[in-house]
Amino acid sequence: MRSSAGGSGPAQPQQRRFRYHETLAGKYRLEKSLARGGMGWVFLATQLPLGRQVAVKVLTPGQHDAQFRQRFLLEASTCAKLQHPNIVTIHDYGESERGDLFMAM
């Protein structure tokens, strides 16, 4: 991931750089970046040890406080209970050993 420097916008928090084949939460090997947005990144990942491919959304570190973290975990828990052909299945969610909030779909 690259971050841009300079510009006249507000200062951005230090952004964590993810490395390909890095393991997230001891469960997901990040294979490829699929998208990057205002709230974080989406990676193609391999769920270990099942060997299945999943999409993992990782929120940008440093941009969430305790209340945001609580809301994210509640939303992920609620979404994980939903089952419908038009709703993406949430396989897992949580916080990594480095404090990254994530959701595996």
Verdict on whether the full-model pTM lies above 0.75 = yes
DSSP label at residue 54? E
Instruction: Find how far residue 10's CA is from the centre of its chain.
Output: 23
> How do residues 6-30 score in pLDDT, each as one tens digit?
444 444 444 567 778 899 999 999 9
CATH superfamily of 23-104: Phosphorylase Kinase; domain 1 (3.30.200.20)
6-18 burial, b at 16+ Cβ within 10 Å, e below that, comes to: eeeeeeeeeebee
